[in-house]
Amino acid sequence: MNIISVTGLRPLGIKVPQVVRYMDKAWVQHFFETGELLLTTFQNCRVHEDASRRDNDEGVARFSLENNISSMSGNIRAGSNSYMLCGSLVESTELSTKFEADAYFLINDPIQFADTIARWLPGFAEGHLGPCIYRPERRINRKVDSQLLPEPPFPIDRPEVDPSQADLNDAMNKLRADAGKNIHQALGFDPLFCKDLSFASEAEFRFVWTIADEVNDKLVIKCPAAIQFCSTHIPIKKPYQATRPKDGSGFFVATSTPPCEEQS
C-alpha cells in the first residue's frame, strides 16, 4: 500500500491508489520484457478504432464561469500537446470484457511511475495524474474570484479615440489571448480529466504528460525503469534484466541514462 504522509498539518496519510491498466496479454508481457509502453493522445482517443475505448469528445469541456462582475461560458479543448495513459481504479471482469482485454497489469506507485516516464519523455514540460471527473455534458460550473473579462486596450466610451485597423487587429488578438489565460487560470487542468457521466463505470485514472510542442500521434516509449513500480499476475518468460544495488538495499531496474537527460 502506497501512503503519502502530509507534513505541517495534523498527522494525515493519503493512500495513493493502485491503478489497473487493461491490455491484451501479449502487450502486458511485452512491457515487462522490454519496458516499452504505448502513450496515446487526446486526438487518438477521439478516433479510436475500438468503439469501447472511443470518446468523440475526449479533451472537450463545457464551462460556465462567474465572478462578482461578469460571467463567461463556452467550450474548451485541452490536451493538444499532451500524451496520456489511461487506467482504472476498478479491477473487474466487467471492465476486462468492456475493453476486450484478456489481461492487465497494476501500477502500484502511480507517482513514481509518472515521474519515471516523464524523465524519459523528450520535451517534457509538466505532468498531471488523477481520477477523471464525470459530469453531465462534461460541464464545469465554477464561481471564481479571479478576473474573467480582460480590460479593453482602447477606451470604448471615447469616440475621439480612432485606432487604425492594424491596432484593432493587434488589440483583438491580445484580448483573445488574455481571455484564454483567464479561462485557463480559472479551470486549471480539470479539462484534461473531464468526461461525460456515461463513462463513470470505467472509474478512469489518467496520466497526462505535456510537452513543449503539439503532439500528432501516439508514441511508443521505452522506459524499463518504470517496470519496478508495476506488477502482474501474468507469467513473464523473459523479464527485463534487473539488478540490486551493491549494498543490497532497495531494488531497481537496470537502465541507461534517460534520453532527455542526455540532451541537457
Residue 210 has a pLDDT of 95
* CA 23 centroid distance within chain: 19
Residue 1 has a pLDDT of 56
Residue 71 has a pLDDT of 78
- Answer for the pair 226, 37: CB distance below 8 angstroms, yes or no: yes
Residue 156 has a pLDDT of 56
Dist. CA 85–CA 16, nearest whole Å = 17
Tens place of pLDDT per residue across the chain (264 aa) = 577 776 777 888 888 899 999 999 999 999 999 999 999 998 888 877 766 667 777 877 888 788 777 777 778 888 889 999 999 999 999 999 999 999 999 999 999 999 999 999 989 999 999 999 998 888 888 787 776 666 666 665 555 566 677 777 777 777 777 777 777 777 778 888 989 898 999 999 999 999 998 898 999 999 999 999 999 999 998 898 754 445 543 434 444 445 454 444
* DSSP tally for the chain: helices H, then strands E: 6, 17
Query: What type of residue sits at position 169?
Result: N
The C-alpha cell at 83 is 500524451
Partners of residue 204 on adjacent β-strands:
88
Burial letters 103-142, b for 16+ CB under 10 A, else e: bbbebbbbebbbebbbbbbeebeebbbbebbbbeebebee
Domain ranges of the chain: 15-143+190-262
* CA 5 centroid distance within chain: 24
Among 133, 3, 145, 164, CA closest to 65: 145
Residue 176 has a pLDDT of 74
